[in-house]
Structure 1
Amino acid sequence: MTISRARLILLACASGLLYPLSFPAFDLGAVAWFALVPLHIAVEYLSPGRAFRIGWLSGTLAFTGSMFWVITAMNVYGKVPFPIATLVMLLLTIYLGLYMAVYAGGLSWIRTTFPTLGFLPAPFLWVTLELIRTYFLSGLPWALFGYSQYQWLPIIQLADHFGVYGVSFLLVLVNAALAETMIWGFKAYRGFQIRSFPWPSSVAATAGFGVALFYGTTLLSSAQHAPTRTLSVGVVQPNVEQAQKWDVAFRQETMARYDRLTAGLGDNLDLIVWPEAATPFVFEMEPQYRAVVNDMARRAGAPLLFGSPALRRHPDGRPFLLNSAYLLATDGQILGRYDKQHLVPFGEYIPFHNSFLFFLDKLVEGIGDFEAGPGSTLLMFKPREKNPPTVTAATLTDFHVKFGVVICYEVIFPNLVRQFAANGADFMVTVTNDAWFGPSSAPYQHFGMVVFRAVENHVAFARAANTGISGFIDPYGRVVQQSPIFTQEALRGTIAVSHQQTFYSQYGDLFAYACAILIALLCLTGYFSHDTEPAGGEPAGRPA
């Protein structure tokens, strides 16, 4: 059985257009459960080489729709000319489309080599490629398939064992089973001689979905009754325009805005959080403005966490910057500092700057000479005295809480956040400046990823954005409070303090690596024992 070139292209385009609809700000998460069905149907009728090309088309469309905001960030805020910004975005999405190309080509090869397996290897291959995308060339795990389900809390609870990759696995498993069932139906309708209904993939998808839903529903129900110690936290969203953020003439207004919003949080807070690069100056290098920040912390009566660049020097005297978050006590003492460890390529540094990308130094406005921090540093403070919900040996001692901070882009890396939880973080804070994204889907996509970091590690998150979304997320991914974007906000919330470690916190991406090992073994077996290209070239349709 064959299918026309035009229909194959339409099928590829269908998946490419459906994929971004499942992510914010479209938020049609239900679409993800069938978005890849057209691509799988196309793969059934193609050789690995042609499947690769069709997958590349589908993937390029999918990531262009998911990451169109790159043009806004580069053109409006980075001052890169629009044609160049568009070209950079297309180069990025063409690169990301390669992962879907490899998926389609690889799945076709596996189907040719192991026809009895059906589409069962599909989710293992997909997760393997998502894992590679997370780490290869600094990593860009944006728009991983599982993130599309950030609003469906019962389904995503399995991330506490398998990470976001587990949700991606389930989505692809269901897509593959639906596609295989449809292919079987097409062949049966046309009178082709086929063996039987594709039970293995259908049973696996139904069982996987059922177990995930049961586990998540049960976990959320039991979590409602678990006693927890809580903290009162305030977050400030000043909404300082990007063009004014580092304008010396606007410093007084910026600090006055922080002062007003911080005062509006009220009293009896355990912690106040300002966003990434909150101070429009280098905190340690400006005594006059440092005194202003110290005074705000004193009047607020709570430790203040805020972002500010830190200037350091190499042994040879060359200066460099750190993107830092300071924890300031009410008496002005610096209780700790976290330095961002995973920097943004083309935002905080230019990769290959000394070789073939030297010209970007004159094109991209605002790229600093930042360097990475040392690692997952925990910060610690003593909260206000109050009666704990349960009395234990721990609460009878001098109680301090430890927390981790991730700055902006870092929160999209599952293993990076996991390291804070594994090291004993009681809760997490993420600070960001999403003004770079403008009024696009990116702030909503960025916020949705924080939901998964909370679920994976069962830690609450407080999030402060220059403009956002700011808000609070509980240890099970429930959004307790969130702000609109491009507004001035002062949010006060209560977050849980817990020190339980999930399976994911302890073992990380074990599931994803297991998928990669299985795919590697399958490929090695197929390579050494099967001819990858059947005689006659194009397959005429495989048995269901």
Structure 2
Amino acid sequence: MKNKELKKSISLLSLALLSGVLLSLCFPPVSFGALAWLALLPLFYAVNEAKSIHQVSNIGALAGLVFYLITLMWFFKLFGPVAIGLICVPALYISLSMVLTKLTLDKYGIFAGWLIAAPVFWTGIEYFRSERWFLEFTWAGLGFSQVNNPILQTASVWGTYGISFMIVLSSGLIITGIKRGIKYIIAGILFPVIFWSWGYNRVLNFPDKIGEPRRVAVIQDESFNMKKLMKKEAEAINQGADIIVWPEYAITMRPKMRELELMRLPAKDINKLRIIGAMIEHGDKALKKSSLLTGRRKKKTTVENFALVINGKCDILGRYDKHHPIPIIESH
């Protein structure tokens, strides 16, 4: 009997692990967003078959841990060993949503569990961790997986949280259909098909203007070394790039931005456009004097994170300021 229970437990944990892997494939570098509409099915089936809340919590935590470990692997480069703690927190949120769903399933039945509780708890917790929790952990929200999918167009109606809700509801319908009949499975499949069709039609009929084609180069370098970045930019220009996009935080500048003088291009390249990611760090005194800041005043150091559009002569043609700082990194 114990051997049978152990095998069942291992099979359910394997399903959770599979969901974690499938979810990670929905995000970079693979970015197979369509998979999101199927990725939750192994996890939901495991939760449906689990016999205890403790087992459900383990299933949800494992799925979340695998998902975020793969998707947010770059955290380790930024935060070192602390990254594992940051990754465990959202994994526990997935565990919590699954526990709440299971409690609803046990008390009110399969319809209330998968068609109401699952999408409400998943989306509600995703919203809380992204918008209301002090860390504002926005990364890898389920709705973001549709960035390369026409379904993203529905975000104009209900935002990315609405997309997350519909993905979970679609999976919930299919799980319900396994127990209650084919009509729920058909409904779960029709959801993404309808949303994809609506989004695709919207993209096709978008009233855009066809302009003159331009060659764009993106510089991929996180060294924050001006010489390296300038060398890569020169290579891009030699290859015919008209617009060069630098990384975020590519250069750190003082408030008067005199550092831009170091970035002048030869006369033949003065019409090249460059989008430069830049940062200015202000202390208390600088903060009070600066007229460029649009955020709330803080007692500690405040960071301006913005993008500049400049030409070869380093004339500033435009500027975009990030209004919402990156959680943890920029929120001092």
TM beyond 0.5 = yes
Q: How does 1:335-354 map to 2 (within 5 A)?
A: 335-345=317-327, 347-348=329-330
Question: What do residues 475-513 of structure 1 show as CA deviations (whole Å, max 9, x unaligned)?
Answer: xxxxxxxxxxxxxxxxxxxxxxxxxxxxxxxxxxxxxxx
Question: What do residues 186-214 of structure 1 show as CA deviations (whole Å, max 9, x unaligned)?
Answer: xxxxxxxxxx6375x44542442342133
Matched, 1:228 2:228: no
The percentage of aligned residue pairs carrying the same residue is 24
Identify unmatched segments of 5+ residues in structure 1: 185-195, 352-544
Could you say what secondary structure the match of 2:211 adopts? strand
Larger radius of gyration: 1
Are the aligned partners of 2:247 and 2:277 in contact in 1 as well (CA < 8 Å)?
yes
Deviation at 1:107, TM superposition (A): 0.7
Match of 1:99 in 2: 93
Deviation at 1:311, TM superposition (A): 4.6
Take 1:206 and 1:35, find their aligned partners in 2: how far apart are those partners? 13
Q: How does 1:55-454 map to 2 (within 5 A)?
A: 55-71=60-76, 73-74=77-78, 80=80, 85=81, 88-115=82-109, 117=112, 119-121=114-116, 122-135=118-131, 136-151=133-148, 153-182=149-178, 184=179, 197=181, 199=183, 201-202=184-185, 204-223=187-206, 226-228=207-209, 230=211, 235-240=216-221, 242=223, 245-246=224-225, 251-252=226-227, 254-262=229-237, 264-265=239-240, 273-279=245-251, 282=253, 287=258, 290-295=260-265, 299-301=269-271, 304-315=274-285, 321-328=303-310, 332-345=314-327, 347-348=329-330
Are the aligned partners of 2:306 and 2:321 in contact in 1 as well (CA < 8 Å)?
yes
Deviation at 1:286, TM superposition (A): 7.2
The 1:282/1:133 distance shift into structure 2, 3 A limit, reads same
Paired letter, 1:214: S
Match of 1:383 in 2: none
Could you say what secondary structure the match of 1:4 adopts? helix
Are the aligned partners of 1:133 and 1:140 in contact in 2 as well (CA < 8 Å)?
yes
Paired letter, 1:306: I
Match of 1:19 in 2: 20
Deviation at 1:142, TM superposition (A): 1.9
Matched, 1:10 2:16: no
Deviation at 1:128, TM superposition (A): 1.6
Could you say what secondary structure the match of 1:10 adopts? helix
Are the aligned partners of 2:115 and 2:172 in contact in 1 as well (CA < 8 Å)?
yes
Q: Of 47, 51, 60, which aligns to 2:56?
A: 51
The 1:4/1:241 distance shift into structure 2, 3 A limit, reads same
Question: What do residues 28-52 of structure 1 show as CA deviations (whole Å, max 9, x unaligned)?
Answer: 5454333322332333343445433
Paired letter, 1:128: G
The 1:264/1:19 distance shift into structure 2, 3 A limit, reads same
Deviation at 1:105, TM superposition (A): 1.0
Question: What do residues 323-351 of structure 1 show as CA deviations (whole Å, max 9, x unaligned)?
Answer: 332334676544554444443455446x6
The 1:42/1:4 distance shift into structure 2, 3 A limit, reads farther
Deviation at 1:59, TM superposition (A): 2.0
Take 1:220 and 1:207, find their aligned partners in 2: how far apart are those partners? 20
Are the aligned partners of 1:8 and 1:54 in contact in 2 as well (CA < 8 Å)?
no
TM-score when normalising by structure 2: 0.74
The 1:298/1:120 distance shift into structure 2, 3 A limit, reads same
Deviation at 1:257, TM superposition (A): 3.9
Take 1:25 and 1:330, find their aligned partners in 2: how far apart are those partners? 33
Give the aligned CA root-mean-square deviation in angstroms.
Answer: 3.6
Paired letter, 2:276: F
The 1:125/1:320 distance shift into structure 2, 3 A limit, reads closer
Could you say what secondary structure the match of 2:307 adopts? strand
Could you say what secondary structure the match of 1:137 adopts? coil
Paired letter, 2:194: V
The 1:56/1:295 distance shift into structure 2, 3 A limit, reads closer
Match of 1:401 in 2: none
Question: What do residues 45-67 of structure 1 show as CA deviations (whole Å, max 9, x unaligned)?
Answer: 43445433432233223322322
Match of 1:506 in 2: none
Question: What do residues 78-113 of structure 1 show as CA deviations (whole Å, max 9, x unaligned)?
Answer: 6x4xxxx2xx23322221111111111111122233
The 1:91/1:334 distance shift into structure 2, 3 A limit, reads same
Match of 2:294 in 1: none
Could you say what secondary structure the match of 1:138 adopts? coil
The 1:216/1:255 distance shift into structure 2, 3 A limit, reads closer
Take 1:205 and 1:141, find their aligned partners in 2: how far apart are those partners? 27
Structure with the bigger RCO (C-alpha within 8 Å, sep 6+) is 1
